[in-house]
């Protein structure tokens, strides 16, 4: 892994060097700082859709992470990205030949931003090529797939991180700090509402083969994961009920709305809703014996807003993907430890809960969960 100084020296004397300097010099908050001269994580993005574009734009403000490559099945997108982000042709691949990144020393990590069903095989191939992996959530279709991905990355001795951007968001981290400090007392209850009215019925998110499910696999995972970092516990049981009002749009295996409940070892409980049929649902509420915390909106791209029994939460408004990539570069390059884990093992826990929720909707019974 090169330092930024090495990277820039290779480009010295070119107009590209000037544009690169202006792109990466600002800090995540946008303030002018002294030029960064530490290690640089060189990233290729796999999947150049809407979210991949958002990540690429956000990375332009990073100091420790740099977009240097692309992997896509659409040649026109590769051409456009090459021009926009000054990506060398040798760092461009498609889904058939990206195993060749093994022989490319200028790429350190690949960020997999493709439909859920593709993650398993793509992550394992990236690991076998000897590159670190960042994967969007949910990491896989089920816990079994997730465990195989974790094992493959361990065998290859590469990092497997997951795109849990909220784990680095300042308002979220402030609530976690307060909870750890005992400012809410004993945690009793969490509520997570995650939903929106989904549009185009032909999109991959409504395709069981590509998505692996419906709203729970897309937006509902925020409440699942949020219940864990807000309470500071992992659940030991779940119950769940599914509601479907439009079977034409939400076909067999594609959930429209799921209400689910979680029970924690301390006795705390969570009540959550995941839906593709209602807007204005992006709220977390945490209640304890000494106080409460609320985030609304809780997980969208921002600005996140929150309050507690002590008043408004006044934390910086950040670009989530910029901070995420900076912090993930720190994890990979410097061994930093985040407040809330973002590794593959963390993702497998969420997948085990998802498996249990789906089982509960099918059986109507309380399903035990073992995340140890």
Read off the pLDDT of residues 48-95 as tens digits, 9 standing for 90 and up.
Answer: 999 999 999 999 999 999 999 999 999 999 999 999 999 999 999 999
158 and 57 inside one domain: yes
Q: Which residues pair with 3 in a beta bridge?
A: 39
Per-residue confidence at 195, pLDDT binned at 50, 70, 90?
very high
Q: Look at residue 39 and tell me if it is in a domain.
A: yes
362 and 215 inside one domain: yes
| CATH at 261 | 3.30.360.10
Domain end marker among 165, 198, 231: 165
Active site residue 111: no
- Angstrom distance (rounded) from CA 263 to CA 18: 55
75 and 206 inside one domain: no
Q: Look at residue 331 and tell me if it is in a domain.
A: no
Active site residue 222: yes
Q: Look at residue 323 and tell me if it is in a domain.
A: no
Query: Which position among 63, 64, 131, 137 bears the catalytic label?
Result: 137
Average pLDDT on 116-145 reads 98
Alpha helix stretches (DSSP H) within the chain: 4-10, 15-24, 50-59, 75-85, 116-128, 143-156, 170-180, 208-211, 215, 221-231, 320-334, 344-363
- Residue 172 confidence (pLDDT) above 80: yes
Domain end marker among 146, 165, 184: 165
Residue of 215, 224, 219 whose CA lies nearest to 272: 224
Residue of 146, 148, 147, 128 whose CA lies nearest to 137: 146
Domain end marker among 120, 150, 165: 165
pLDDT of residue 372: 86
Q: Look at residue 21 and tell me if it is in a domain.
A: yes
58 and 198 inside one domain: no
355 and 219 inside one domain: yes
141 and 253 inside one domain: no
pLDDT of residue 269: 99
pLDDT of residue 14: 38
- Residue 26 confidence (pLDDT) above 50: no
Q: How many domains does the chain have?
A: 2
CB-neighbour burial class of residue 227 (10 A; exposed 0-12, middle 13-18, buried 19+): buried
Q: Look at residue 74 and tell me if it is in a domain.
A: yes
Whether the Cβ atoms of residue 272 and residue 193 lie closer than 8 Å to each other = yes
- In the chain, what percentage of residues exceed pLDDT 70? 91
| CATH at 56 | 3.40.50.720
Query: Which position among 93, 164, 222, 358 bears the catalytic label?
Result: 222
| Domain hosting residue 254, numbered range | 166-317+344-368
Per-residue confidence at 11, pLDDT binned at 50, 70, 90?
very low
150 and 188 inside one domain: no
Q: Look at residue 327 and tell me if it is in a domain.
A: no
pLDDT of residue 1: 52
The mean of the pLDDT values for the chain is 93
pLDDT of residue 33: 57
134 and 174 inside one domain: no
- Residue 8 confidence (pLDDT) above 50: no
């Amino acid at each position: 892994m090169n330092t930024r100084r090495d990277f820039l020296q290779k480009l010295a004397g070119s107009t590209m060097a000037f544009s690169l300097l202006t792109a990466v010099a600002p800090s995540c908050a946008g303030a002018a700082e002294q030029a960064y001269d530490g290690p640089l994580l060189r990233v290729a993005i796999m999947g150049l859709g809407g979210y991949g574009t958002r990540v690429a734009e956000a990375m332009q403000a990073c100091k420790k992470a740099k977009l240097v490559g692309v992997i896509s099945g659409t040649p026109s997108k590769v051409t456009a990205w090459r021009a926009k982000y000054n990506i060398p042709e040798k760092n461009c691949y498609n889904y058939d030949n990206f195993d060749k990144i093994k022989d490319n020393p200028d790429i350190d990590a690949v960020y997999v931003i493709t439909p859920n069903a593709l993650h398993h095989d793509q992550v394992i191939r990236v690991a076998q090529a000897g590159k670190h992996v960042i994967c969007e959530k949910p990491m896989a279709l089920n816990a079994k797939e997730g465990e195989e991905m974790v094992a493959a990355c361990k065998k290859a001795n590469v990092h497997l991180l997951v795109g849990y951007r909220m784990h680095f968001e300042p308002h979220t981290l402030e609530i976690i700090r307060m909870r750890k400090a005992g400012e809410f007392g004993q945690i009793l209850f969490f509520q997570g509402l995650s939903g929106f009215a989904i549009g185009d019925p032909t999109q991959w998110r409504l395709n069981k083969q590509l998505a692996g499910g419906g709203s729970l696999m897309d937006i509902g995972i925020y409440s699942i994961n949020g219940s864990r970092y807000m309470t500071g516990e992992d659940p030991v049981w779940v119950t769940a009920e599914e509601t479907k009002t439009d079977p034409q749009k939400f076909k067999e295996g594609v959930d429209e709305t799921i209400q689910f409940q979680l029970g924690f070892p301390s006795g705390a409980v969570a009540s959550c809703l995941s839906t593709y049929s209602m807007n204005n649902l992006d709220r977390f509420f945490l209640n304890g014996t000494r106080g409460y915390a609320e985030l609304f909106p809780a997980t969208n791209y921002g600005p996140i807003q929150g309050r507690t029994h002590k008043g408004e939460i006044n934390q910086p408004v950040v670009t989530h993907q910029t901070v995420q990539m900076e912090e993930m570069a720190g994890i990979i390059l410097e061994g930093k430890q985040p407040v809330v884990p973002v590794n593959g093992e963390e993702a497998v826990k969420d997948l085990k809960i998802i498996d249990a929720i789906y089982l509960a909707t099918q059986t109507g019974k309380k399903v035990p969960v073992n995340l140890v």
